[in-house]
Chains A and B, each alone.
Chain A
Amino acid sequence: MTDKMCMVVSEGTFDKAYMPLIMGTTAASMGTEVHVFYTFFGTGLLKKTAKPKLPGIYRLFTGMFQKKMKAVGIPSHDEMMKQAMDMGVTFYACTTTMGLMGIKESDLKPGVKVLGAASFLKLANESKTTLFIG
């Protein structure tokens, strides 16, 4: 049976956006089944229009940072999410947050699923590892 790994993402800044993608694609490369659950401010990262910025005043340097990442082969947030999905990583939006923040299912990137806490906890219970990114 393949190992499972879960991640919870609760923040929507650039750094919190990339961490689950880096960990997720790496784990998928190592044959692990990966599930990433986005809640609170993390949920906005799953929107089609998502353009995450670095936290605080560092947000001004986001473009520069992104250029540097591109130079070392790390794709844009949107591209990397697609790549992760192709590798079998599953992304879930928290239904409660969607309700609270007025995010509709049609606002989400294609391929993103919606999930409640109980279903996520079931996945987490079956996983060897759960990481919290927030």
Chain B
Amino acid sequence: MMRRTTLLTGCTALALALGATACGGGPVTPAGGGDKALAGQTVTVAGVWTGSEQKNFQKVLDAFSAKTGAKTQFVSTGDNVSTVVGSKIEGGNAPDVVMVPQVGVLQQFAQKGWLQPLSTTARQTIGADFASVWKNYGSVDGTLYGLYFKAAHKSTVWYSPDALAQAGVEPPKTYDEMLKAGHTVSDSGLAAFAVAGQDGWTLTDWFENIYLSQAGPEKYDALAAHKLKWTDASVVKALTTLGKLFKDKQLIAGGQKEALNTDFPGSVEKVFGPEPKAGMVYEGDFVAGVAHDQFGRTIGQDADFFAFPAVDGGSAPVVSGGDAAVVLKDGKNAKAGMKLLEYLATPEAAAVWAKAGGFLSPNKKLDLASYGDDVTRATAKSLVAAGDSVRFDMSDQAPAAFGGTKGAGEWKLLQDFLGDPSDPKATADRLEAAAAKAYQG
């Protein structure tokens, strides 16, 4: 049985590897300029990026080539990084550098012994230029493997400045102020919030922001690692706080039932679409992208954000995500790969993508003037200013069965909670039951 399983895995790996090489080969960048220390070597980089993200990252790689003379090749892995990279390693065709999109994946790679610890230079840069929280999220068992090159800011509440001006309210500073402002917006005839209840992940983000601010970073970490049970009083309290918003018909566009029928793009449309139905929508910095690309809003003018407000006297939460660069042991040019990583750690590299847009860097040394527009600059500033209080998206740290599956686990239970927020205690019990099952498996 064991041998057959291996055979099967081998076949799948082969198929995947073939598929990946067939469709994922990016253009090989020619060398030019710089000191040419790495001339003649090709660094292969794998990552989830496609489309404009891939294009912009290529600009960073081009800058690296210009500097060092090394050729670079970007391979897009699609959503499932760990499967593709795993099969490439088995097939003896490992990329040199991988951009991993989740903390869990980085840990998984490190535990399998695929990763090379970062060089002294890279370690020093990260130690000096990054908040130590990024170092921690890049380390496994005390060894630093990953450099967070690109980050996401998930504590931004986006609003239509027109709607708030019409209602005569200012961006709030606390959660209670936000609910009060919401009521005023609702008095003006527009619902306060568009909630994307059909996409469970937006609800987990709501919860994580409230929990991080209300219960504090220590408890947040404990809950993320499931060292703290979901039945803890702090969870019930956060759910009650969230329920205050969820159960208020005046605060949610169309009430709970309509919220459960709204997906994420739909919720952005409710605020920034041609027929606004709500004044505010909470989600990460990528809301700006949707508002701009799909609904033609000028960011900073027709769409702006305020930081997710502090809850119950806590400090304002900064929930984040990001892509970390790691170097694989099995890469053919792992040494050149490490050089690329050292380059990515510099503000110079971050500035290249920052100029192109759609990018936040956790690097403290990056000049904020590098960002293309004021709103991105403000998000970046808030992210860097948060320093060590930044926390990674909790559901991304959890096993997929709990934190990342449509119609199951945390997604489903928070959707049920949105439908009926009357009993936070029971929801906490159910969350614990689901978490216990997923973390043990």
B partners with A: no
